[in-house]
Chain A
Amino acid sequence: MPLITYRDALNQALREEMHKDDRVFLMGEEVGVYNGAYKVSKGLLEEFGEMRVVDTPITELGFAGVGVGAAMVGLRPIVEFMTWNFALLALDQVVNAAAKMLYMSGGQFNMPIVFRGPNGAALQLSAQHSQSWESWLAHIPGLKVVAPGTPYDAKGLLKSAIRDDNPVIVLEGEMLYNIKGEVPDEEYLIPLGKAELKREGDHCSIITSGKMVLVAMQAADQLAKEGIKIDVVDLRTIRPMDVDAITTSVKKTNRAVVLEEGWEICGIGAQIVDYIQRDCFDHLDAPVIRVHQADTPMPYAKALERAAKPDLPKTIAAVKKVMYIEA
């Protein structure tokens, strides 16, 4: 199986879907001539022309609204945000228009639109450009939210997102674009709403998604050396969440660490812990522990940024804590 980057996996997904359906088009800041701020749309302008790969002004609310209108009249737009930090400006269109159109039109208008872009922190981009918005977006009824953590999942989930008749948020990662993974040549789709057990073990579950999947896998590798076997549940889709996958794992291991990139308060992890306590109460042998970003704006200073981010040592410490292993 070819080893390709996350960036190229997304590029393949876009290209394949644009070939397959001429209603699909891409727009956003610098997606065309510049090949995308992170080169995800490389070569697409050449291949599909400027009617289908549209460079927009720096007007997030405006082009998100154009996308919503296009979807209402039958096109299948893919709106790229240079980062989700900039998408805050477009949230009225995402939340009030895209997410509610089918509902408020009494079922007259589907909303086959994808909003995608990198989410969360990269390195030293400071407080305003290092934020994880998954809990904000997943909070909204009417939106679907996916957060692929591997090239394989990125391609399969983006293709499903483009084909879905509802607005789908795709949360990518600047630090993910360069990672490599096996992606088959033949076409495949990954269904929305299905988690994947990325690693099997019966001592403790780590439930995570997106960029943190890599951290969870590294933690599982390290802990395996100490004889601790981890179930790594990669949600892949944050909304609708695959609750069965979570509870099946926790009922097996009796312990869980919930690992997320964002902040603690009202984070995705809080929702996951709620599902666990509701469905797995009699199966828990320890309180569930969450690993997350520190409750502060992301610091710029390198050492402080490292201290604030959820990472491998914090994840390992959390696993040991729920397993009653003293460090």
Chain B
Amino acid sequence: MATKVFMEALSPTMEEGRLVKWLKNEGDAVKSGDVLAEVETDKAVMELAARGAGVLRKRLVNEGEAVPVGTLVGVIASAGEDISALVGAPKTGDGRSKTEDAGSKMEDGRSKAPAAPAPAPAAPPSSISPSSIAVPPSSRSLSSPLAKRLASESGLDLASVAGSGPGGRIIKRDIEAALATGSAGGDRPSSSIFHPTSSIDFEDLPLSLIRKTIARRLAESIGPIPTFYLTAEFDLERASEMRAAMAAMGDDYKVSFNDIILKATATALAQHPEVNAHWLGDHIRLHHRVHLGMAVATDDGLIVPVIFDADKKRMSEIAIESKMLAKKARERKLTPAEYTGSTFSVSNLGMMQIEQFTAIINPPECGILAIGAIEDKPVVAADGSTQIRKRLRVTMSCDHRAIDGAVGARFLQTLRRMIENPLMLVY
């Protein structure tokens, strides 16, 4: 029962891997889970683990060689097992010398006429169907039908369970272990957020689907994304004047500070495609259209609906659209098309009197702007006098893989010009 060792997709975008170093020699005993080799993916050097036990009989790829995902790189089998069918015909030299040996051993001395290459051996007859054992490389998480059913019956999220079967398959014992250690909520999620429990020391909140998605997405973000932060304080006196002047013209012209910030951000992004970008693992995509995500808090958690082509929309359109999206978000009526496809995002906690904060990037976006509260602050003016002015602190989180400090800073300079001189927005 040989186990084929494949080059596995060790990152979601990996198409080939370079075998950096073999950690096991041919002939070494291995057990399932042992690290066989180090493999350089498109992102990092990862470990290639054994999916079966036995002896590493054959290494089929040399150190330093790059091969596509799915390539057979080695064979694990028991010591005496015939693996010739798995590793292909023996090299010419070996084959010939074996044939000659066989010929010379023939007792009647008849030379074997022009040593015709032996036909490739058919798959060795096995009484146990190998097809049920082979483990194809797959990035999909595997689980037995029984494990799936048990998980669903106990309200366990399979994503939170580590599989101990072949190829990482989640099987019954893994579900039982997870339930025994209480690593995941045992109750089915209900519509109520709070579960009254008899304990006064704690209460358990089930994870809503959106909360799970937030956890997964944000963990994805804070983990691999090398983020740095740029904070700037903008003067909002003129924006405030503009807003008051518009409101004076009637309710139809009322815009919020948030609408002004969204419009300014979108306009600035159109001038800075280097921050209006997606990090896609092996390349950066600069977007020519500005689809602005706006974070909205709901009872369930955060969701980021998108104002598409925000730079091309008038402030009044943005005002109407952002209001509509926020309402739909709170009512949980957003369609997937309305909350996917953003190229850059804005998160505003100003209305909750947060002076400044840092927001977590929503990948594959490369930046997000955190908007603080607008506050009256004493400011030293150019003439040395002290004035009380409306001020706003914004902090931009930048994915350093795509955005360098100066690039982010230049974007914030543009944004400052827009917000501090709101007439720029109609320029």
Contact = CB atoms under 8 A, between A and B. Distances in A.
Interface stretch (B142-150, B316-324, B404-412): B142-150
Interface string A3-30: 0000000000000000000000000000
A295 B123 CA distance: 10
Contact of A290 (B129, B147, B171): B129
A307 B52 CA distance: 23
Nearest to B130: A289
A310 B127 contact: yes
Contact of A289 (B32, B128, B148): B128
Given A285-B172, A324-B164, A324-B165, A317 B128 contact: yes
A206 to B, nearest CB: 13
Given A326-B53, A327-B53, A288 B128 contact: no
A278 B270 CA distance: 57
Interface in A269-310: 281-296, 307-310
B125 interface: yes
A264 interface: yes
Interface of B: 1, 31-32, 52-53, 78, 125-129, 132-133, 144-149, 164-166, 171-173
A314 interface: yes
Given A317-B1, A321-B1, A324-B171, A283 B146 contact: yes
Contacts of A310: 127
Interface in A35-64: none
A131 interface: no
B145 A282 contact: yes
A285 to B, nearest CB: 4
A314 B127 CA distance: 7
A302 to B, nearest CB: 16
Interface in A63-113: none
Most buried by B among A284, A293, A317: A284
List 9 tightest A-B contacts by C-beta distance, closest first: A294-B125, A285-B146, A326-B53, A287-B132, A282-B149, A285-B172, A285-B144, A314-B127, A285-B171
B148 A282 contact: yes
A244 B280 CA distance: 53
A86 to B, nearest CB: 26
Interface string A215-234: 00000000000000000000
B200 to A, nearest CB: 40
A254 B146 contact: yes
Given A286-B165, A289-B132, A294-B125, 18 more contacts: A264-B129, A282-B145, A282-B146, A283-B149, A287-B133, A288-B132, A289-B129, A290-B128, A294-B126, A308-B127, A310-B127, A318-B128, A321-B1, A321-B128, A321-B133, A324-B164, A324-B165, A324-B173
B52 to A, nearest CB: 8
Contacts of B166: 324
25 contacts: A254-B146, A264-B129, A282-B146, A282-B148, A282-B149, A284-B145, A284-B146, A285-B145, A286-B171, A287-B132, A289-B129, A289-B132, A290-B129, A291-B127, A293-B127, A294-B126, A308-B127, A311-B127, A314-B128, A321-B128, A321-B133, A324-B171, A326-B32, A326-B52, A327-B78
